[in-house]
């Protein structure tokens, strides 16, 4: 029996619905560091890649692919990104963006976290909102709350050292205002989330 237009539409709708829940096969290339659920395998400098809107995951993967971000601690991340097709990147971003960010249970320093919150509100809150904020997909920057401290410390230092290009001049202006010790305060604040 030939498929009617309706059954065809339904079949397409169903297959894309199940595709949303299932990991694309290419996740095999990410598992050894990020785990299939994006929460990581316990390597402290590997970022948590859930709770990030799809557009930002794509942006990051292209930044590794084209060299705007260099992989100073783990070259395999950049080597892997270089092999991804546009379709892989779209599928991976779609998949990881649907997974919730797990709560981060790490020790942090309370007084540094308080100072970090002030710095965040003053310089960063306009573009960086928590992963469960209703406006997270429209924010210009990635959610930093609940990200591994070791990764954030490293990423901030990479912008300061220039091994990561700033994709937005406005963020560079804010980073230039930071003084000694501010990175540590911010990292403790994001860890307290
Ligand atoms: C060998 C370990 C390793 C593998 C394999 C790996 N990654 Fe990564 N990933 C890392 C590390 C380490 C970083 C931080 C790199 C840096 O900026 O220097 C990273 C960063 C990222 C980021 C940026 C997150 C952010 O907050 O900016 C994304 C997205 C990402 N990886 C996705 C993937 C995907 C998707 C795959 C599979 C196709 C993958 N990674 C494979 C280790 C790995
Ligand atoms: C005008 C908007 C804007 C402001 C203000 C801003 N950022 Fe960003 N930030 C971005 C964008 C866009 C990206 C991603 C593109 C890139 O790598 O440049 C980003 C990326 C980052 C990353 C990398 C995240 C990851 O997961 O790899 C960190 C860390 C970060 N910002 C910290 C900060 C801090 C701390 C401040 C305040 C001192 C700040 N940003 C202010 C827009 C902003």
33-36 long-range CB contacts below 8 Å, 24 or more apart? 33/74, 33/76, 33/77
Cβ contacts of 114 within 8 Å, gap of 6 or more: 189
* Ligand 2 atom with least separation from CA of 186: 35
| pLDDT at site 21 | 54
Tell the residue number behind the tokens 């994001």, with chain if given: 190
**Secondary structure (3-state) at 56:** helix
Cβ contacts of 188 within 8 Å, gap of 6 or more: 108, 109, 112, 113, 116, 149
With beta carbons less than 8 A apart as the criterion, state whether 64 and 58 touch: no
Q: What is the CATH number of the domain that holds 109?
A: 1.10.760.10
Domain count, the chain: 1
Return left, alpha or beta for 180; rule: phi > 0 is left, psi -120 to 50 is alpha, else beta. Answer: beta
Distance CA 88, CA 74 (A): 21
**C-alpha separations of 112 from 30, 118, 127, 171 in Å:** 33, 10, 21, 22
116-148 pLDDT, tens per residue? 999 999 999 999 999 999 999 999 999 999 999
Helix (H), strand (E) counts: the chain: 9, 0
Distance CA 25, CA 154 (A): 30
Residue closest via CA to ligand 1's atom 27 equals: 60
7-48 pLDDT, tens per residue? 444 444 444 444 455 899 999 999 999 999 999 999 989 999
Q: How far, in Å, is the centroid of ligand 2 from the Cα of 63?
A: 14
Ligand 2, residues at Cβ distance < 6 Å: 47, 123-124, 126-128, 140-142, 144, 152, 155-156, 166-168, 170-171, 174-175, 178, 186
78 lines ligand 1 (CB under 6 A): no
pTM attached to this predicted model: 0.90
Q: Which domain holds residue 142?
A: 5-191
| pLDDT at site 12 | 45
Cβ contacts of 32 within 8 Å, gap of 6 or more: 41
| pLDDT at site 75 | 96
Cβ neighbourhood burial of 87 (10 Å; 0-12, 13-18, 19+) = exposed
Residue closest via CA to ligand 1's atom 8 equals: 77
50-71 pLDDT, tens per residue? 999 999 999 999 999 999 999 9
Closest ligand to C-alpha of residue 61 is 1
146 lines ligand 1 (CB under 6 A): no
Residue closest via CA to ligand 2's atom 27 equals: 155
């Amino acid at each position: 029996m030939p498929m009617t237009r309706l059954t065809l539409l339904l079949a397409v709708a169903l297959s894309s619905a199940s595709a949303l829940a299932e990991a694309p096969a290419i996740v095999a290339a990410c598992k050894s560091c990020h785990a299939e659920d994006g929460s990581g395998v316990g390597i402290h400098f590997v970022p948590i890649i859930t709770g990030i809107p799809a557009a930002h995951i794509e942006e990051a993967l292209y930044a590794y692919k084209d060299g705007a971000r260099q992989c100073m601690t783990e070259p395999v991340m950049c080597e892997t990104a270089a092999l991804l097709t546009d379709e892989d990147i779209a599928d991976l971003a779609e998949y990881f963006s649907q997974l919730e960010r797990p709560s981060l249970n790490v020790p942090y320093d309370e007084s540094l976290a308080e100072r970090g919150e002030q710095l965040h509100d003053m310089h960063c809150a306009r573009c960086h909102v928590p992963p469960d904020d209703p406006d997270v997909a429209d924010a210009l920057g990635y959610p930093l709350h609940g990200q591994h401290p070791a990764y954030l410390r490293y990423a901030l230092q990479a912008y300061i050292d220039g091994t990561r290009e700033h994709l937005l001049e406005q963020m560079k202006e804010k980073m230039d205002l930071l003084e000694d010790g501010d990175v540590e305060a911010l990292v403790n604040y994001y860890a307290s989330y």
